[in-house]
Amino acid sequence: MNRNFLKLLLLAALGMYSLSSNAQKFKGLAKTPPMGWNSWNTFGTNISEKLVKDIADLFVSQGLKEAGYTYIVMDDGWMAKERDAKGNLVADPQKFPSGIKALADYVHSKGLKLGIYNCAGDKTCGGYPGSRGHEYQDALLYASWGIDFLKYDWCNTPKINAESAYITMRDALHAAGRPVVFSICEWGENKPWTWGKEIGHLWRISGDITNCWDCELNHGSWSSWGIMKIVDMHANERLRQFSTPDAWNDLDMMEVGNGMTVYEDKSHFALWCIHDSPLIMGNDLRIAKKETIEILSNKELIAVNQDSLGLEGFRFHSENGLEIWAKPLANENWAVLFLNRGNGPKAINFDWKLIERIEDAMKELDAHFINHTYKIRDLFAHQEIGTTEVPLKKDLKEHDVLMLKLTKIK
């Protein structure tokens, strides 16, 4: 009996007694929403070692690493169709000829982190080997490779209890000993926001996103959702209360740069920022347009998402297709988003005395707000545009957004 097998037996034993032991998620890995890139939206299972290396290089050359993006996540399709004779997962030798350990070393050499994918069922969504019954074995393998992030999906899971399945993998990761950000990708079917805080660092609230503004693509047994459909799901479920540093509502990987208008891309990114959603890019960075990179690397918007207060934003006004969202920031500052979600242009004419409505909403969060005058900064234009002493007037194009930071004047 070799040492690795003995270690696996020990880890399995730890798992059997995890509820009465110190098994837990690795805390403090996601004090702000994770930022990175995932292969699925653009590439599906058609991924490779070269693609991942190219993305790592572009993180550096395009300024994305400097902007805060850290994780490069290989989604479904990285592994061979069968486990080896010892039951271990094997990287597809055609797609990843150097193996995952060498790829992780390359990504780490760039000052970045590598993520990987698997599933709580017998098979992944793409038909590759899932982790059911192999959780501790897989976690030990990931640790030996130097994996930093695990996206854990929910395909092929009949009669499995979701919370229990994710606890098992959480405990396996903890037993393996390498800190890993754990992404719960359960699609919101079992309300993971009610139990995910002590299990993972982020949890999906919906099925897969798709690159449209406000649509549903019905695939029969499941649907893909447009940007505003996911935003509305979030608001209707009142999920803001569950989001907190190290445990985030995940609105899914972004579709910025994947075929929508530049105004829709701006609005999409701004909404993810104000929701404190993880900022996981889903486009092909090798062919990204200049305006796409400018949106994704906008440090002023990213700062809203990464604000240390960690309080998620909320919609406090909606009328005739014009919405106003607000997010409290550290030092009693605010982010405010005006969104034209309707068809055709909209005119903003907003009296800042209505800020009192934001104050009333904030009382629900037991936070501090004092009605002072604020200076206003346009985070897309990168310029000061006045103060809250004067009503705000601006025209918005269809599906465009105005994202502001309000800084209290001392």
Indicate the pLDDT class of residue 372, thresholds 50, 70 and 90. Answer: confident
Percent of the chain with pLDDT over 70: 90
Specify whether 374 is located in the same domain as 299: no
Q: Using the predicted structure, report yes or no on whether residue 172 has a pLDDT greater than 70.
A: yes
Rounded to an integer, what distance in angstroms lies between the CA atom of residue 82 and that of residue 100?
16
**Contacts by residues 97-104 (CB-CB < 8 Å, ≥ 24 positions apart):** 97/49, 98/49, 100/145, 100/147, 101/144, 101/145, 101/146, 103/49, 103/52, 103/53, 104/145, 104/146, 104/147
Question: Do the beta carbons of residue 15 and residue 49 sit within 8 Å?
Answer: no
Specify whether 269 is located in the same domain as 337: no
Specify whether 240 is located in the same domain as 378: no
Q: Using the predicted structure, report yes or no on whether residue 71 has a pLDDT greater than 50.
A: yes
pLDDT tens per residue, range 242-299: 999 999 999 999 999 999 999 999 999 999 999 999 999 999 999 999 999 999 999 9
C-alpha distances in Å from residue 191, one per residue of 197, 203, 219, 262, 361: 12, 9, 22, 33, 24
CA angle 317–320–325, rounded 5-degree value: 25
DSSP assignment, residue 79?
B
Q: Which domain holds residue 365?
A: 314-408
Give the end of a domain, one of 237, 270, 305: 305
Question: Do the beta carbons of residue 186 and residue 170 sit within 8 Å?
Answer: no
Specify whether 300 is located in the same domain as 321: no
Specify whether 134 is located in the same domain as 266: yes
Phi-psi region of 283 (alpha: psi -120 to 50; beta: other; left: phi over 0): beta
Specify whether 200 is located in the same domain as 322: no
Specify whether 97 is located in the same domain as 13: yes
Give the end of a domain, one of 282, 305, 328: 305
| Residues classed as catalytic | 153, 208
Query: In terms of pTM, does the model score above 0.85?
Result: yes
SS3 80: coil
Specify whether 322 is located in the same domain as 289: no
Specify whether 255 is located in the same domain as 324: no
Give the end of a domain, one of 305, 322, 347: 305
Specify whether 298 is located in the same domain as 362: no
Rounded to an integer, what distance in angstroms lies between the CA atom of residue 116 and that of residue 128?
13
Domain with 298 in it: what CATH number? 3.20.20.70
Domain with 330 in it: what CATH number? 2.60.40.1180
Specify whether 130 is located in the same domain as 209: yes
Nearest to 390 by CA among 327, 345, 348: 348
Specify whether 323 is located in the same domain as 287: no
Q: Which two tokens stand for residue 410?
A: 């001392």
Number of domains in the chain: 2
